[in-house]
Amino acid sequence: MKKLIVTILLLPISILSQWTQISTINSPELKAVKFFNEHTGIVAGQGGIWRSTNSGVNWTQVLSGHTLYSVSFPDISIGYAVGDSGIIFKTTNAGLNWNQIGIGVTSKRLNTVSFPSVNTGWIMGESGKILYTFNGGTSFTNQSNGDTTYEVNYLHMANGTTGYYCGSSSANAETFGVTGNGGINWLYTFFMAGNILNATSNIPGLGGYALAVGTNGRIRRTTTNGTTWTVITSPVSVQLNHIVFLDANTGYIAGNSGNILKTTNSGLNWVIDATVTANNLKCISFINANTAWAVGSNGVVIRMGIPVGINSNSNIQTYTLEQNFPNPFNPQTKIVVEIPARGLIKLVVYDVIGNEIITIVNNEVNAGIYEYNFDGGKYSSGVYAYRLFINNQFIDSKKMTLIK
């Protein structure tokens, strides 16, 4: 009988600040990610929206059939997502359910959304489209900066009055704009041929300071709300897609070829913080200075601050055997086990008639969430069962399907 190849991914609990790939979602490209705490978050992109409650290890699709480019959550419950053909969605229960709003407002592709409060927000996109709402999306009004010949790629509203956007013209030129009066006026302050700007952010606590990033490793920095700019030397020449600042000093950039850049001096200098995947990274979400997620092409999800093998165990109350993901699978899948107390764990795979195929693990472990990967590439298609035993007592069993 052919052997099932098993790879166990368990890292020591002392590893707390390393970027690691933790999962892959069935999407050609994930474009946005938002985590509310160390357990719960959502991602959006080609194919819809997915939600995780175990730190990004497993995902459940909660919205399908759409390509979404951006999400904004002014608080943990209320969020907005925008995408192709003027689509706008809203959730009021932390991403569990999504309802379409703003139907018929526009047919333009919407690239970016930013809500500084639950009712007040802006949406921008194709042909310079700017939509504004003051009532949580019950109605939208059009705003204008007087130019409809370019694409707004990213919007960052620092608060209800001050906001920054960036994008590109039809001639592939960098564009940037700013408002200081809640979008009544948008000042078109920058135009420079040769690159496209993909994202921008202000620097918290430093009035007038902002950065914008884009193609060919472009990093621009302003201390005057965009009236003058300095080009910052980048350690990479790849396209840069997203930038966030955690405080007045520390910021991160996500880019192509798995590059994550970091600054600790307000964006004056940048270093490569990680390259843990070859996939292009489109968005980063931080919940604190040490814990973050990033997503990108081929459905990649990477994480910093929680070890891959062991997640936080503070909320684990019962022994739980998760459904393998993906299922059906070909040829790799993952099994997650939650352990509330130290004990002898045994995880066994059986064929369809009950013959034991392999014991994945059989040793004592501490409380935690454990993720086991295995590869059925050399095994025949069919239905298999995997069973969890704790201290030699049966806990649970689930089925999984290998399809080739």
* Residues ≥6 apart with Cβ < 8 Å to 63: 48, 49, 81, 89, 98
> How high is the pLDDT of residue 5?
37
Residue 315's pLDDT band (cuts 50, 70, 90): low
Share of the chain above pLDDT 90, in %: 59
Q: What is the pLDDT of residue 189?
A: 66
Task: Classify 288 in phi/psi space as left (phi over 0), alpha (psi -120 to 50) or beta.
Answer: beta
Output 251 or 184, whichever has higher pLDDT: 251
Write the pLDDT tens digit of every residue in 192-235: 777 899 999 999 999 889 999 999 999 999 999 888 899 999 99
Q: Would you state the pLDDT for residue 342?
A: 85
Rounded to whole angstroms, the Cα distance separating 246 from 269 reads 16
Domains of the chain, CATH where assigned: 16-304 (2.130.10.10), 320-402 (2.60.40.1930)
pTM, to two decimals: 0.73
Q: Chain-wide mean pLDDT for the chain?
A: 87
Percent of the chain residues topping a pLDDT of 70: 91
| Mean per-residue pLDDT, 26-32 | 97
> DSSP E strands: which ranges in 319-367?
320-321, 332-339, 343-350, 356-365
Write the pLDDT tens digit of every residue in 75-126: 988 999 999 999 999 999 889 899 999 999 999 999 999 999 999 999 999 9
pLDDT score of 7: 37
CA distances from 164 to 48, 74, 340 (A): 27, 17, 46
> Which contacts qualify for 376-379: CB closer than 8 Å, 24 or more apart?
376/4, 376/5, 376/329, 376/330, 376/331, 376/332, 376/333, 376/402, 377/5, 377/331, 377/332, 378/2, 378/3, 378/4, 378/5, 379/2, 379/3, 379/4, 379/331
CA atoms within 13 A on the CB side of 26: 12
pLDDT tens string 232-279: 999 999 999 999 999 999 999 999 999 999 999 999 999 999 888 999
The partner residues of 294 in beta bridges, in order of sequence, read 284, 302
